[in-house]
Amino acid sequence: MATTEKQKSDVMLKYLRPQKSFPSVWCPGCGNGIVMGAFIRAVDKLGYTNDEVAMVSGIGCTSRMPVYLDFNSLHTAHGRALAFATGVKFAEPKMKVVVITGDGDALAIGGNHFIHACRRNIDITCILINNHTYGMTGGQGSPTTPADALSTTTPYGNVEKHFDPCDLAKSAGATYVARGTVYHYPQLEKIITAALEHKGFSLVEVIANCHTYYGRLNRKGDAPAMLEQFKENSITTGKAKNMEASELEGKFVIGKIHEDAVKSEFCDEYQKLVEVQKGK
């Protein structure tokens, strides 16, 4: 039986904060709402209770998400979400700890915490919404702003190189890494679900539109136009395998990029140590 509109909205109401007034701080057409929808449905599918989820964020447009959701929400300081989340998870390993972050928050000011959370393989799911810019402060260049792209701090084109968050996470030791876009909604819901189910550090990078700044400055059009571009410029991991690096230039490789089901998880390892040392 097909899901009715009523059932769909019931799922949303179960996880949205009734006392928090909407609309959100996000611009009309922002990709963040699509990611929030996918995350809610993934949590619902997995049957997590509101009480067992801790949602941690830093500063930025994306980081406002936990405030709208009826979980244990921790809206922290710029770049530090993963460090706070590490404390939550380490102290209370039975909690499902999710970090929602952006490219500036996670990879610039929070870059150190990002690689170390990956290295520890602590059981945290990190959803990194990559819109290639600092939206909240008005469109400055970020660690994922492509070469030559315009931003308010690269008014003559970006001369810096950019990070690939998925490569970085994989190299640093994350054990589940996937990329989606806000255009490819069904896949996004699927990879967020898989990331939540994965034991260990999981990264989901979501390519999203900031048509207000990045899109406008780089003449990429409005929100629907940018979603169309994500559709046209995405290549599945399966297809990408047989392609040259030069062919993948400027494309988004989407799907599961890396998974390691063998490597042990940090809190589990510490618990084993505690069991041995306890009472000594």
Task: Using CB under 8 A, list all residues that contact other proteins.
Answer: 17, 19-20, 50-52, 54, 56, 66-67, 70-77, 80, 83-92, 94-95, 112-113, 116, 270, 273-274, 277-280
Nearer to other proteins, 18 or 186 (CB): 18
- Terminal-to-terminal C-alpha distance of the chain: 58
Minimum distance between the CB of residue 67 and other proteins, rounded to whole angstroms? 6
Minimum distance between the CB of residue 33 and other proteins, rounded to whole angstroms? 19
Residues 6+ apart with CB under 8 A from 251: 233, 234, 235, 240
* Alpha carbon distance 240, 248 (integer Å): 7
Residue 204 and residue 56 in contact, taking contact as beta carbons nearer than 8 Å: no
Minimum distance between the CB of residue 189 and other proteins, rounded to whole angstroms? 23
Tally DSSP H helices, then E strands, for the chain: 13, 8
Cα–Cα distances (Å) from 225 to 128, 171, 237, in that order, read 22, 33, 24
CA-based torsion, 103, 37, 50, 175: positive or negative: negative
Nearest CA to 173 among 78, 268, 266, 273?
Answer: 266
What's the full length of the chain, in residues?
280
Minimum distance between the CB of residue 264 and other proteins, rounded to whole angstroms? 16
Residues 6+ apart with CB under 8 A from 156: none
Residue 82 and residue 113 in contact, taking contact as beta carbons nearer than 8 Å: yes
Angle between helices 5-15 and 32-46 (to 10 degrees): 90
Minimum distance between the CB of residue 203 and other proteins, rounded to whole angstroms? 17
Minimum distance between the CB of residue 220 and other proteins, rounded to whole angstroms? 31
The pair of structure tokens assigned to 62 is: 């994306």
Nearer to other proteins, 86 or 234 (CB): 86
Minimum distance between the CB of residue 183 and other proteins, rounded to whole angstroms? 31
Nearer to other proteins, 97 or 253 (CB): 97
